[in-house]
Amino acid sequence: MVIGGFATLTQLLQQAAAAFRDRPCLGMAAAEHTTWWSYADLERQVQRAAAWLRAQGIAPGDRVALWGANRPQWVAGYFGCLAVGGVVVPLDAKSHPDFVRRVLERTEARLLVLGSPQHTSLGQTVVPTAPLETLDDLLPAEGVTPVAVQPDDLAEIVFTSGTTGTPKGVMLTHRNIASNVQQAAQVIPPPPDTKLLSILPLSHMFEQTVGLLVPLTGGASIVYLPGFQPDLLFRTLERERITAMLCVPYVLDRLRQGIEREVERQGKGSQWELLHRIAPWLPFPVRRLLFRPVHRRLGGRFDFFLVGGAALDPDLARRWENLGIKVVQGYGTTETSPIIAGQTLQRRHPDSAGRPMPGGEVRIAEDGEVLVRGPNVFQGYWQAPDLTQEAFTEGWYHTGDLGFLDARGELHLRGRKKEVIVLPTGLNVYPEDVEQELTKEPAIAGAAVVGRARGRGEVEIHAVLLMEHNDPTAAEAAVRAANRRLARHQQIRGFTIWPDADFPRTPAMKPKRREIAAALERLQPTREVA
């Protein structure tokens, strides 16, 4: 059973609580056990949170900021704010305090609910605050009935800017988000035995829509972790017998690397690679038997990953599929609540983002940009009418991503429009294509590809590398090996080894190519590849 027909997020919760009342809903994992709220518990906590927010003077339309790590209290605060007609302003737990202050000022937030680490980093603020971890202690015993929220009422303002510049707030209504939840639930209906491990921030629309709201429509159970410690993650996977997890490609690759390091430590690398060569020819149940130790480590019931937020290397998806674990891709933007296209559990192609959501429209502009129209598309940017006008043409939202639709109607992405490297010959190079070839080399832990000016208006392909060992000779050999697989116009002409343990990254764990490119002049030495 999957609930539907709701036009607001408050209706979604009411229907879920009525349909799945005693089922476990939200769990908070600890080393030895997980503490659970049922669907009835969540509804009761939301009603209490709503009563407390009303007592703080929060009225319909007022903004309430949430700044902290994933936990059941975050969800109670989120729905509690919506229940009194408020507008949620979710903030990434790792946001810089200066960025948070600018957002609070821009939105004229009436209240900030925040975690204890965030409170310590922020210091004094003119906005009243409340503790996220111990929010339960503040709530009254009795709750209140939600106000009559309308579908076109503003539900959230989600900020997509980084730590510098003017924050840009995406305005999403109840209708925007609720319609996208129902679209996604048609594509992957969540069965009631789903147990989802939530590791991506709830402040981001991917985790919020796909990792919280869609599972609620099917009575699924969601488990939160107090941090991303590998030991606790694997212990929770085993103890709770998790069936699914949302992640970005970077996390998926880190999990793969961890498993394969353990295989190498046990001296079973050759056997592991042999099984990977055999697996594609076998049905999924047999693949799971071949890789039984991996499945035991993942709890025995793990079925699929939902992957979004950045480009996924098809070879990485195939490695997990060889294990008998499905990799389901999706594509979206914050401005579309967020899902634009997605695969199903039955229809998965490693090189595609899937088909457009039911009821949504996608078309490709003459320059290859992906344009979107539908009920899930945002209302505009907060207090930025000029930016809003620039984002639309005749009702179509410009995503800034480049792609194409194939004969099956599936969407394929080529990268960000602003990050395409245009060579003097007029040919385009998409950084993700080159990065995928580089990271196939064992010596390379990560890569960011940028265009580098070489005088007289010329631009060449330059690779910035994360190395397992800081060995320029090994780096050059790896670059040359990648070049042999690349087309002539894609080939890397120079490389630099990044001095830090990791690149600066976006919340979706994409390398910040502009920041990396700007740092090249101070990074020495750089080397050319003849």
Report which of residues 83 and 505 the model is more confident about. 83
- Residue 40 has what pLDDT? 98
Distance CA(270)–CA(262), nearest Å, equals 13
Q: Which residues pair with 89 in a beta bridge?
A: 65
Asked if pLDDT for residue 161 goes beyond 80, the answer is: no
The C-alpha atoms of residue 153 and residue 175 are separated, in whole angstroms, by 8
Share of the chain above pLDDT 90, in %: 71
Residue pair 509/502 in contact (Cβ under 8 Å)? The answer is: no
Task: Give me 381's structure tokens.
Answer: 């940017």
Pairing of strands 169-173, 526-528: unpaired
Residue 329: its pLDDT value, please? 96
Given this model, what pLDDT does residue 525 score? 66
**Which pLDDT belongs to residue 166?**
67
Whether residue 139 contacts residue 45, with contact meaning beta carbons closer than 8 Å, is answered with: yes
- Evaluate if residue 248 carries a pLDDT over 50: yes
Residue 313 host element (H or E): none
| CB-CB contact of 520 with 464 (8 Å) | yes
Instruction: Concatenate the DSSP letters of all residues of 221-264 into one string.
Output: EEEE-SS--HHHHHHHHHHHT--EEEE-HHHHHHHHHHHHHHHH
What integer pLDDT is reported at residue 163 of this predicted model? Answer: 39
How confident is the model over 236-248, as a mean pLDDT?
95
What local confidence, expressed as pLDDT, does residue 164 receive?
44
The token pair that represents 415 in the structure block: 């990268």
| Number of C-beta neighbours around residue 435 at 10 A | 23
| Tens digits of residue pLDDT in 359-377 | 999 999 999 999 999 999 9
Q: What is the Cα 369 distance to its own chain's centre?
A: 21
Decide if 24 contacts 215 (C-beta within 8 A): no
Question: Dihedral sign, CA of 501, 69, 118, 249?
Answer: positive
360: helix, coil or strand?
Answer: coil
pLDDT at 29 over 50: yes
In the predicted structure, residue 333 carries a pLDDT above the cut 90: yes
Percent with pLDDT over 70 in the chain: 97
Which residue segments constitute the domains of the chain, with CATH numbers given?
A: 9-194+201-215 (3.40.50.12780), 244-300+303-416 (3.40.50.12780), 420-528 (3.30.300.30)
Whether residue 386 has pLDDT greater than 70:
yes
- Contacting residues for 105 by C-beta, under 8 A, at least 6 apart: none
Split at pLDDT 50, 70, 90, the class of 401 is very high
pLDDT computed for residue 514 by the predictor: 84
Average pLDDT, the chain: 92
Mean pLDDT computed over 229-257? 91
pLDDT (average), residues 160-186 = 85
Query: What mean pLDDT do residues 80-104 have?
Result: 94
Q: Give the mean model confidence (pLDDT) for residues 503-508.
A: 83
